[in-house]
Amino acid sequence: MCDLFVLFNGYSKLCNDKEMLANCSCSLILGDHNIIVDTMTAWDSDKIITALAGYNILPDMIHYVISTHGHSDHIGNNNLFLKAKHIVGYSVSYKEKYFLHPFESGEKYYINENVEVLPTPGHTLSDVTVLVKTKEGTVAVAGDLFENSEDIENPTIWMSAGSENPALQRKNRAAVAEIAHWIVPGHGPKFKVTEEIRNSLSKQI
Ligand SMILES: [Zn+2]
């Protein structure tokens, strides 16, 4: 088992037809490895360092940085973590060395017995979801596969947030809900996956 803490709840809101405010959910996983998932915008480094200090974690104590995809609000502070292996979507690297992994064929990337990285394309064609075994069950840190819990009943929310392949995203949303007890969406608070949610998502495929 490991512990998962959502350091910041993501959000997104439209200001007018030309501007929106958005930042991503940022999560910390503590266990055999210390892992940070989605590092917000480049202007949030002080916030992240302060939040980590609350768990007695310094940036150099992080073993893996995972960005669920390569958009600017999910990668902004990856360079705080220079002792860590970096996973950005389907790309796995440490310094200039790249580790090849067949995410394209649907293969999970295994970090330890409690943490796996699952390819879940849709929002971008190389999105990943982090599956974490915790005391409260499996938590899926899903990035923008889910925008927030409201996007289940109102799919225009995730579709208008941008989807490079909506059909694939629908399929992966249903698949992740099938295996997860909780979901941390990219731009909203963590929510519990109910049978009703699973049924609704499988009907949308
Ligand atoms: Zn996002």
| Residue 53 neighbours by CB under 8 Å, 6+ apart | none
- Check whether 14 has a pLDDT greater than 90: no
- Check whether 17 has a pLDDT greater than 90: no
Domains of the chain: 3-94+108-203 (3.60.15.10)
**How many whole angstroms separate alpha carbon 125 and alpha carbon 104?**
9
CA 79 to ligand 1 center in whole angstroms = 18
CA 117 to ligand 1 center in whole angstroms = 18
**How many whole angstroms separate alpha carbon 200 and alpha carbon 193?**
11
CA 74 to ligand 1 center in whole angstroms = 6
For the chain, state the CA radius of gyration: 16
**How many whole angstroms separate alpha carbon 15 and alpha carbon 103?**
36
Q: For 161-178, how does the pLDDT look when each residue is reduced to its tens digit (9 = 90+)?
A: 999 999 999 999 999 999
Residue 130, pLDDT score: 98
CA 4 to ligand 1 center in whole angstroms = 20
What region, left, alpha or beta, does residue 144 occupy, with left being phi > 0 and alpha being psi -120 to 50 degrees? alpha
Residue 143, pLDDT score: 98
Nearest to 37 by CA among 11, 74, 3, 73: 74
CA 94 to ligand 1 center in whole angstroms = 24
| Residue 94 neighbours by CB under 8 Å, 6+ apart | 84, 85, 86
**How many whole angstroms separate alpha carbon 148 and alpha carbon 164?**
18
**How many whole angstroms separate alpha carbon 194 and alpha carbon 185?**
15
What's the whole-number mean pLDDT along residues 21-50?
98
Residue 150, pLDDT score: 97
Helix (H/G/I), strand (E/B), else coil: 171: helix
What region, left, alpha or beta, does residue 69 occupy, with left being phi > 0 and alpha being psi -120 to 50 degrees? beta
Q: For 71-110, how does the pLDDT look when each residue is reduced to its tens digit (9 = 90+)?
A: 999 999 999 999 999 999 999 999 999 999 999 999 999 9
- Check whether 34 has a pLDDT greater than 90: yes
Percent of the chain with pLDDT over 90: 97
- Check whether 26 has a pLDDT greater than 90: yes
Angle at 97 between CA 94 and CA 103, to 5 degrees: 80
Residue 84, pLDDT score: 98
Average pLDDT, the chain: 97
CA 12 to ligand 1 center in whole angstroms = 8
